[in-house]
Amino acid sequence: MDLIRKSKKFLFSSICLVALSASLVGCNNNAGNTAENTGDTAAPKAEVKYPSGNLDLVAPAGAGGGWDTTIRMVAKTLNDTGIVTAPMPVRNAPGAGGAVHLATLQEANKKADPNTITVYSPPILFFNLNGSSEFGYRNTKPLARLIADYGAFVVRADSPYKNVGDLMEALKKDPKAVKIGGTSAVGSMDHVQFLIIAKAAGVENIDKIDYVPFDDDGLAQLLGGHIDLFSTGLSDVKGLVESGDVRVLAQTADRRIGEGKMGEIPTAMESGIDATFINWRGLFGTPEMPDYAVQYWRDALKKLQDTPEWKQVCAEKGWDMIYLDAPEFEQFLEKTEAEYIEVMTQIGMLKK
């Protein structure tokens, strides 16, 4: 009997020991799973410090133009107001009307760069539609539309054309009666903004209108008598308008823009032409910019709009404040592209 009792006692102890071991193994396995799960889902992700170091702000054209001025003033005002405290050096990356820089953003080491911010305007639509580049706004991350300049149709002070109506009547009789010049390529902004207004004015055969592109001396060509009309940006002729050397027949806004002599420039709509053209400018990130950087810039640029410093800059430059946040900006780009396609199809410049 004692032997039986001892055997039963030994068997019970063995069973308990096995059970305890299994329990410990299970606990260890569960502890391992918990740590793994904690690392994947439960533990908070490390917060990304952004920006850290210098940002890279790019004007994809030469110094002194609209893109260059816009992004430099954005950088300065963001720093002055303390909205962005990181260094924001601006560099120029000219080439093919902005298409060269856009192509570099498609490179593997640039696609998701959080620090590169670029300014663009209608040419980012035009150079894709006219076949100059395989890339367009969809190969970027639109962040915000900021400001607008508007088209201006400029003649010499002694021009026989006293208003835009006179000019359009001449073109209706003969689309080659007036030689137009601009500093953008054929099928790009200065060209198309004029054609949009001419088409709305009832000019037929707008594809027959003579347009001559110049590098950067369009006003000199106008004053020298080599062209009859210079299609350009309204803010680009402010000095000459105030000096009286040229006369602006019309601007392409829906209302008069500016003060003093600039505020006296009539709109095309005032002459019965139901059309406008907005030379908008906005900021874009890289195609695969991380969400944290996108949100940072959306917040910063929204704050910028409400600062007195930015309002003063826009007033001094003659810019219209037409801010759109990223989602609305993308909708605007899509709608505007469709409008450009219609005109470019008519003049045989659509290559997309």
* Angle value at C-alpha 62, between 299 and 252, nearest 5 degrees: 70
Asked if residue 229 lies in contact with residue 176, where contact means CB atoms within 8 angstroms, the answer is no
CA distance linking residue 348 with residue 207, whole number of Å: 7
User: Please, which residues bridge with residue 205 across strands?
Assistant: none
Domains annotated on the chain, with CATH? 56-148+279-346 (3.40.190.150), 150-276 (3.40.190.10)
Q: What is residue 335's three-state secondary structure?
A: helix
Asked if residue 317 lies in contact with residue 234, where contact means CB atoms within 8 angstroms, the answer is no
* Angle value at C-alpha 128, between 122 and 133, nearest 5 degrees: 120
Query: One digit per residue, pLDDT tens: the chain, 352 residues?
Result: 444 444 444 444 444 444 444 443 444 443 333 333 434 444 445 678 999 999 999 999 989 888 999 999 999 999 999 999 999 999 999 998 899 999 999 999 999 999 999 999 999 999 999 999 999 999 999 999 999 999 999 999 999 999 999 999 999 999 999 999 998 889 999 999 999 999 999 999 999 999 999 877 788 999 999 999 999 999 888 888 888 889 999 999 999 988 888 899 999 999 999 999 999 999 999 999 999 999 999 999 999 999 999 999 998 888 999 999 999 999 999 999 999 999 999 889 998 7
